[in-house]
């Protein structure tokens, strides 16, 4: 038996070597030269494989061992690289189209537990009060420790209408929080908008999806028709927006920037990972045949005074938009430091409908600032309001830099710098705002039928700033 397992291990080792040599030859032929294959390490790998097959307490399928080895390779790199099995790959593709099943939370892995990056607005998790920074330690009666991120996500997803109980640790709470959620089909409305006051528009982007740019263009056009005059100011709310599709971020930026202005560029090891994306239709339309939905925007869109609201839940594509508008001095960024997720994940399909999500480059703002593990510093810092002692937007300021194995900033000049201090810092109110007729300040949530609370402190500060700028312009 022992000899048979050794023979199996040698055959497996030979197959691995053959594949690696093939991949190595391809890499040398098409990209930069790579170091020689680590034969000793590969031999150790096959020895471990053989030992598990022969000595582990229970039989283990080869497929499971190989899948777990691939998982380990990717999750050991950074919090965002991952192996996607057939179900996960399908969910990823469906999710970018704005509808999928589950609880509605953007998550990452930290110390073997699931950490909430951001709850997605209007989902079961959001409505139940799950917050950015919450640490999920148990799903029903199953401890998270020992599960991969994909396994945990699979357990959280399920048939709409079924229930799952999350056990959550939250900073400031003496005991774990236990909350039961009902799974639902998550239909995300990417863009929400309204004229909050005559002349002042408000656009909330909850996530960057396939049609985010188009939906925002429609909202802007509606503003000008409803207002029957040029806008005096515009608030773009990216708080707790976990990101999404890159072309959506480029489209939103392009709506407000001059044609061909640089929005973002990426730096990686391969030529494919080096991009310069500008405010031109080639960088946000899905195909050349598609009509440019930004072409007929009202002229005032390019010049209307703007405030962009951000916080610790603003990540990835949100940070690209905020960084581009800040560098071009097109908008004032207000709120708190963003999450700092400035790495690019490329989905590389494999056989059998599986794929790997691999970090291939870093994002840089037009002025060359790396977003990774640093984020975007607001021009005006406005802390999030507390109502009855409860912070309304986030929990305890979880950032990319707090995640285990996070990718470094990549900009040597920026690496040792602390986030830039904002030029102005406004404190949050220590007491709740007066209770309005149609508003509920005890929850901090919008009134029924509204998309934002009238007592949203950060939004009110943004509107006050825009009104002040309007007065100065008129003078």
- Residues marked as catalytic: 316, 327, 341
- Cβ neighbors of 391 (< 8 A, separation 6 or more) are 384, 385
Max CA-CA distance within the chain?
Answer: 91
Tokens of 108: 């990452």
Are the beta carbons of 237 and 459 closer than 8 angstroms?
Answer: yes
Tokens of 399: 């950032």
Are the beta carbons of 281 and 260 closer than 8 angstroms?
Answer: no
Are the beta carbons of 320 and 333 closer than 8 angstroms?
Answer: no
Are the beta carbons of 81 and 91 closer than 8 angstroms?
Answer: no
Tokens of 239: 């708080």
Closest by CA to 206, choosing from 104, 303, 298, 279, is 104
- CB atoms closer than 10 angstroms to residue 90: 13
Query: What does the alpha-carbon distance between residue 195 and residue 236 come to, in Å, rounded to a whole number?
Result: 12
Pairing of strands 306-310, 233-237: parallel
Cα atoms found within 13 Å of the Cα of residue 119, Cβ hemisphere only:
21
Q: Measuring CA to CA, how many Å separate 352 from each of 8, 87, 88, 230, 355?
A: 24, 11, 12, 54, 9
Q: In what order do the strands lie in the sheet with 200-205?
A: 191-197, 200-205, 233-237, 306-310, 332-335, 380-382, 424-426
Cα atoms found within 13 Å of the Cα of residue 230, Cβ hemisphere only:
10
Are the beta carbons of 286 and 247 closer than 8 angstroms?
Answer: yes
Q: Measuring CA to CA, how many Å separate 301 from each of 204, 234, 292, 304, 329?
A: 16, 9, 16, 6, 15
3-class secondary structure per residue, 381-426: EECCCEECCEECCCCCCCCHHHCCCCCCCCCHHHHCCCCCCCCEEE
Pairing of strands 233-237, 262-268: unpaired
Size (the chain), residues:
475
């Amino acid at each position: 038996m022992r000899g048979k397992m050794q023979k199996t291990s040698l055959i497996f080792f030979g197959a691995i070597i053959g594949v690696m040599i093939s991949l190595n030859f391809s890499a040398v032929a098409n990209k930069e030269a790579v170091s020689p294959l680590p034969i000793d390490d590969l031999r150790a790998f096959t020895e471990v494989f053989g030992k598990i097959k022969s000595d582990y307490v229970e039989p283990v399928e080869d497929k499971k061992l190989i899948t777990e080895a691939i998982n380990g390779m990717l999750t050991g790199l950074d919090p965002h690289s991952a192996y996607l099995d057939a179900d996960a790959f399908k969910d990823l593709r469906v999710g970018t189209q704005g509808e999928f099943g589950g609880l509605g939370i953007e998550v990452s892995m930290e110390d073997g537990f699931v950490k909430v990056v951001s709850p997605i607005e209007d989902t079961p998790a959001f409505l139940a009060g799950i917050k950015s920074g919450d640490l999920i330690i148990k799903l029903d009666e199953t401890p998270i420790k020992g599960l991969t991120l994909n396994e945990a996500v699979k357990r959280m997803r399920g048939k709409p209408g079924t229930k799952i109980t999350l056990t959550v640790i939250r900073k400031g709470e003496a005991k774990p929080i236990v909350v039961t959620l009902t799974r639902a089909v998550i239909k995300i409305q990417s863009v929400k908008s309204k004229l909050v006051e005559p002349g002042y528009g408000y656009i909330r982007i909850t996530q960057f999806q396939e049609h985010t740019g188009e939906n925002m263009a429609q909202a802007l056009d509606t503003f000008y028709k409803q207002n029957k005059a040029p806008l005096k100011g515009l608030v773009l709310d990216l708080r707790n927006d976990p990101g999404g599709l890159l072309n959506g971020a480029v489209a939103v930026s392009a709506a407000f920037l001059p044609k061909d202005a640089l929005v973002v560029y990426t730096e990686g090891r391969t030529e494919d990972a080096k991009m310069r994306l500008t405010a031109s239709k080639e960088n946000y339309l899905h195909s050349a045949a598609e009509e440019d939905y930004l072409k007929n925007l009202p002229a005032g869109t390019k010049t209307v005074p703007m405030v962009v609201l951000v916080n610790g839940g603003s990540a990835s594509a949100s940070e690209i938009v905020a960084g581009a508008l800040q560098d071009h001095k097109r908008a004032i960024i207000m709120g708190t430091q963003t999450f700092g997720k400035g790495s690019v994940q490329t989905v590389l399909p494999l056989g059998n409908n599986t794929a790997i999500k691999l970090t291939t480059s870093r994002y840089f703002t037009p002025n060359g600032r790396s977003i990774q593990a640093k984020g975007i510093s607001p021009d005006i810092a406005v802390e999030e309001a507390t109502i009855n002692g409860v912070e309304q937007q986030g929990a305890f300021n979880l950032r990319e830099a707090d995640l285990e194995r996070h990718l470094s900033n990549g900009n040597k000049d920026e690496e040792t710098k602390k986030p830039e201090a904002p030029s102005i810092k406004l404190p949050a109110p220590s007491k709740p705002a007066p209770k309005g007729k149609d508003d509920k300040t005890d929850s901090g949530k919008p009134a029924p039928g509204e998309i934002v609370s009238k007592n949203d402190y950060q939004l009110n500060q943004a509107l006050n700033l825009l009104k002040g700028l309007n007065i100065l312009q008129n003078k």
